Structure 1
Amino acid sequence: MWLGPVFEREIAMAPRARGLYVARAVYASVLVAIVATCWLVVTGTESIDSAGDTARFGATLLRILSPLQLVLAVLAAAMVAAVSVSMEKERRTLELLLISRLYDRELVLGKLAASVVQVTLLLVSAIPIFAIVLLFGGVTAPQLIRVFLVTAAASLAAASIATTVGFWRDTAFQTLSITAFAIVAWMACGEMCLFFFGPSVAAMISPARAVYAALEPTGGSRFIPFLGVTVSIIAATNLVAVFNVRRWNVAADGKFGVQDAEYESDDLLTLGRQPAGSRVSEQSGSVNPDPGNNPLRPTITRDIVRGTSREVWKNPILWREICTRAYGRKIVVVRLAWMLLFAGSAAIIFGEMQKNRPDHSAITIAIVPMVLASLVAVTALAVTSITSERDRNAFDLLLVSDLSPQELIWGKLLGVLAVSREIVIVPLVLCGFLVGTGAVSLENGIYLALGMATLVFFCDVLGVHVGLSYERSARAIAVSLGTVVFLFVGVATAMRIMVSFGSSFELQLAPFLAVIVGGAVGLYAALSARNPSPAIGWASALLPVLTFVAITSFLQGNALQVFLVAGVAYGFATAALLVPAIGAFDTLTGRASSLE
């Protein structure tokens, strides 16, 4: 095949994975549940007596399903592509592919095509459900075709970006973070075009605006230019990857790869319990205690990396997370990306506040994507801090050392926050910027900052918990990021259904309970995979409900209620995940069986 043996292997292996069938079944079931819930709400509020009534229902339903499918497809395509390439690097199998007889084109396009196949199957499974919407009327077949073409094109573009970034960057965290930044920046460019040039130009750039344009009966005039933009993105990113894949990886591996691998492995052996003030010599790879202290471990004398000695902290895991290349080289690129996100959000907020009547919805649009991207990035860093150890076969070395569970867990948690300090601090600084521009009061700004800090720490703990619970890296990343996306995108979709179809709380209760109950069951199944507990069960039941309340309070401008709800809900959930991660660490990691 033109795509090469990489694609052939992925296609041959994909049907053997049970998760592929589960994902398709769950996605189709969720869409059917949304359609059924909306129908029950409408029939409870008004009588359906004419074709016009069903046509209005069909048109409104499609405007709910289409953006939801776009968001899920773009995120899924980007995540699958990023993880697919990053895992090759983490497991050090990319070198084997590079020294084979594969062409660069076959390697890059094969990985891209294999990643897109899974998302394509999800879209195919959704076609019958969207066809049901077509039967209600108010929607034409060309509209559905345009919606699916926009979704497929945006997903392929997102996967192309993720694949290119995956070959460029060293670790899964950097790949996921820069990909998230690129997608948010893509959406932001569309919103800026809407502000300066109007909806026609915005529909040519932004996938979200293109979907809404495709839903219009005359959306074809703005639909074709968007396809041209996505084709340009796909072609440009893949050409860059094809021409640079060997320069990015062969040169880096030849210069740093073997040394970094040996450095990490030997450090993990030596970074157990050490005397206070001991030093790790990068030149000899040995632990050299200060005069007067007796060494607890034999000295490793093999030369690894030349350089000066560095003092190891009391918690060696925290020292390694912060003071070594545990998350790859040139992580400054990720930090710079978040600075650009902050600058863009601040510019939009400042521009709106200069108007006589600021548009608070525009301010919300400027804040929410950056906050969600920050939470996703922190979660990705936390989960990959565990999965990368497994992929490098270094996690077993940590388990056989004399490190305590508290040292390992807190070292990972604090290390994630330290490494991602710009990602954590930028949303908090944005809260201060809101206060400075007069968008919110000082009191509300403090509440928003405290609530944001609570969410960030929850995502940190969530990533570490899921990383310990799932042995497969791809599944761990999918579960952790999927949890964050559900808690915000899923709940927001439920709110959209309630606003679109409900006129009283009694009738709005059906979609509310559908999302809450279904989400609670899904959260419990995902978070208690290896260590179920009543606390995790209560956290899974409360999080969707209280997240709904927090989002509603944020839209109403009640910052105190946002802080209180977020503090109670996510504080309890954080404790429910953190206590088992430390208390049952030996059971989760296989150090000891639950019977011992």
Structure 2
Amino acid sequence: MIMINPVLRRELKTKMRTWKAPTLLVIYLAILAVFGGLILSINELESYTGGFDPGNALTIYFLLAGCQLGLIIILVPALTSGTISGERERQTLDLLLITKLSPFSIIIGKLMASISQIILLILASMPVFSIIFLFGGVSASNILLLFFFFIATAVMVGSIGIFCSTFFRKTTTATVVSYLLIFILSIGTLVGLALLNQYAYIVRQQGLTYGESLLIAGANPFVGFLSVIQNQAGYNIVSDILGVRNNISKIPFQPWQVNIIFDAIITCIMIFFSVIRIRPVMRRRK
């Protein structure tokens, strides 16, 4: 018999039996559908024939995928940043801490429960993306890789939300800090890359190499996303954004693979400190 994390089982029963889960699913799919409909309408208006141009199917696919990534990054902190602080505000955290569950089991259970909702949203959006199959240009492996990247990004962002939820007592504060940290990963890494690139020009009369740029921008989820879709686009989008083309062939990893590695490292660090943050509290309870 498969043993399910008790926290995960409780959270799934609590969340999936309320109106919030189906409402979130409907709103999420409605946003994707409306966004896709707008793209199709614009495409028809710009078409000389007055109909849909199959050549623009990949563009629609990329825009829908970007919209989904944006929704994931927006939704995940809202779902995870109140997991522990919410228990504290409802005064139910003490009941959870005096159980036989380890701190690691509590954190993992809370994280998995929140991410399971995101995985449900991602899987539910597959019919929307499957429409692109009618026009070709996208294979099943492309979509599976994209969805794998979405899940890895969701876990990383969720671990940040969990950490903030354990560190701050108020859910509002935890949510704000979660979005701030994600903003730093999304925008701050690009700003830092631009500054370091200018500094490299001053010091050694040439900019950063491709490998050096990836060490900074590799943590950026949008850079990883562009790397996933750039092979289908037919040209190297990431190198254009990073502004470098030297030593590209010498890098054994693609940018999205570097981003996955960064995601794994950040997730492990956030979970570790979340467990450390809860453990002293549990010891005081004992």
Shorter chain as denominator, the TM-score bin is 0.7 to 0.9
Q: 1:243 aligns with which of 276, 280, 283?
A: 276
Determine which structure has greater relative contact order: mean sequence separation of CA pairs < 8 Å that are 6+ residues apart, divided by chain length: 2
Q: Which residue of 2 aligns with 1:162?
A: 161
CA contact (8 A) 1:187 1:206 kept: yes
Provide the C-alpha distance between the structure 2 equivalents of 1:2 and 1:212, rounded to a whole number of angstroms: 38
Provide the C-alpha distance between the structure 1 equivalents of 2:282 and 2:165, rounded to a whole number of angstroms: 11
Please state if 1:127 is matched with 2:160: no
Q: Which residue of 1 aligns with 2:230?
A: 216
Equivalenced residue count is 251
Task: Supply the AA of the counterpart residue of 2:228.
Answer: A
Shift of 1:173: 2.2
Provide the C-alpha distance between the structure 1 equivalents of 2:100 and 2:38, rounded to a whole number of angstroms: 54
Shift of 1:242: 1.8
Shift of 1:48: 5.5
Please state if 1:88 is matched with 2:87: yes
Query: For residues 251-262 of structure 1, what are the structure 2 equivalents within 5 Å?
Result: 251=284
Please state if 1:152 is matched with 2:161: no
Provide the C-alpha distance between the structure 2 equivalents of 1:3 and 1:152, rounded to a whole number of angstroms: 20
Provide the C-alpha distance between the structure 2 equivalents of 1:248 and 1:188, rounded to a whole number of angstroms: 35
Q: Structure 1 pair 23/183, CA: closer, same or farther in 2 (3 Å)?
A: same
CA contact (8 A) 2:8 2:113 kept: yes
Shift of 1:214: 0.9
Task: Supply the AA of the counterpart residue of 2:259.
Answer: F
Task: Supply the AA of the counterpart residue of 2:54.
Answer: T
Report SS of the residue matched to 2:81: helix
Query: For residues 403-414 of structure 1, what are the structure 2 equivalents within 5 Å?
Result: none
Q: Which residue of 2 aligns with 1:565?
A: none
Report SS of the residue matched to 1:217: helix
Query: For residues 291-310 of structure 1, what are the structure 2 equivalents within 5 Å?
Result: none
Q: Which residue of 1 aligns with 2:189?
A: 190
Task: Supply the AA of the counterpart residue of 1:118.
Answer: Q
Bigger Rg over Cα = 1
Q: Which residue of 2 aligns with 1:98?
A: 97
CA contact (8 A) 2:44 2:50 kept: no
Unmatched segments (≥5 aa) in structure 1: 255-596
Report SS of the residue matched to 1:139: coil
Q: Which residue of 2 aligns with 1:388?
A: none
Q: Structure 1 pair 61/198, CA: closer, same or farther in 2 (3 Å)?
A: farther
Task: Supply the AA of the counterpart residue of 1:25.
Answer: V
Task: Supply the AA of the counterpart residue of 2:40.
Answer: W
Q: Which residue of 1 aligns with 2:173?
A: 174
Shift of 1:47: 4.0
> Cα RMSD (Å) of the superposition?
2.7
Q: Which residue of 2 aligns with 1:280?
A: none
Q: Structure 1 pair 198/144, CA: closer, same or farther in 2 (3 Å)?
A: farther
Q: Which residue of 1 aligns with 2:12?
A: 11
Q: Which residue of 2 aligns with 1:225?
A: 258
Query: For residues 342-421 of structure 1, what are the structure 2 equivalents within 5 Å?
Result: none
Unmatched segments (≥5 aa) in structure 2: 198-207, 237-252
Report SS of the residue matched to 2:105: helix
Render the CA deviation track for 1:317-347: whole Å, top value 9, x for unaligned: xxxxxxxxxxxxxxxxxxxxxxxxxxxxxxx
Shift of 1:2: 5.6
Render the CA deviation track for 1:221-269: whole Å, top value 9, x for unaligned: 2221111110111111112222331225765x89xxxxxxxxxxxxxxx
Provide the C-alpha distance between the structure 2 equivalents of 1:224 and 1:178, rounded to a whole number of angstroms: 27
Report SS of the residue matched to 1:138: coil
Q: Which residue of 2 aligns with 1:26?
A: 27
Paired-residue identity, %: 21
Query: For residues 451-470 of structure 1, what are the structure 2 equivalents within 5 Å?
Result: none
Shift of 1:50: 11
Report SS of the residue matched to 1:205: coil
Report SS of the residue matched to 2:274: helix
CA contact (8 A) 1:77 1:116 kept: yes
Q: Which residue of 2 aligns with 1:36?
A: 37
